[in-house]
Amino acid sequence: MPEPPFRPEDLYLFRQEVSDAVALPPHNRKEHYRPRIKPLPLQRLRDEKQVLRDSLSDPWEILDQGETGEELFFCRPGVTTAVLRKLKRGGWVIAAELDLHGLRSDEARITLASFLLHCVHNDLRCVRIIHGKGLRSKNREPVLKHKLRHWLMQREDVLAFCQARPADGGSGAVIVLLKSSTRVHHP
């Protein structure tokens, strides 16, 4: 049988030696906890600064020339033409994408609502939504394109949207600018 690490008389001697010791108060102890530093979202901060600068410029009154009537675009009142122009030129980083190809209207609406809720919750400000060109639908008309316009205009978290540049999907996609999650009121 192994011996205990100390004998009873050792314990008695130890207690005698430390009998006048006073325990340190808990707040005098050194904490070795180092808080984790959150990464800085530099591009989002630059984008938000630009929106602030753009919002202080002249209000949007007249659409850019050259609209064909088939292009999707929308700008909420109070958002300047500079913001819409920057969105049209691809000046925002696209943070997420949703492809609605092959979905029926009711499925697309529900999927879109869920996607936008996720984006706002995660502060994804600029997103691309692919609705397709309608080449496989009746009369080769883009059914989702027209519905998407109405769905997006009804959402308070959508600041602006426009047809994607050709490199980003052209007339088969839309680029959407969302409010910052810190500025959206959640019920």
pLDDT of residue 61: 38
Give the range among 18-22, 140-144, 169-173 with minimum mean pLDDT: 140-144
Q: How many angstroms separate the first and last alpha carbons of the chain?
A: 68
Q: Stretch 15-41: mean pLDDT, rounded?
A: 78
Q: Stretch 71-99: mean pLDDT, rounded?
A: 88
d(CA 45, CA 89): 19
The first and second tokens of residue 49, run together, are 């600064």
d(CA 38, CA 163): 34
> Would you place residue 36 in the very low, low, confident or very high pLDDT band (cuts 50, 70, 90)?
confident
Q: What is the pTM of this model?
A: 0.59
**Domains, the chain, ordered by start:** 72-178 (3.30.1370.110)
Highest mean pLDDT among 25-34, 87-96, 128-137: 87-96
The first and second tokens of residue 73, run together, are 């675009």
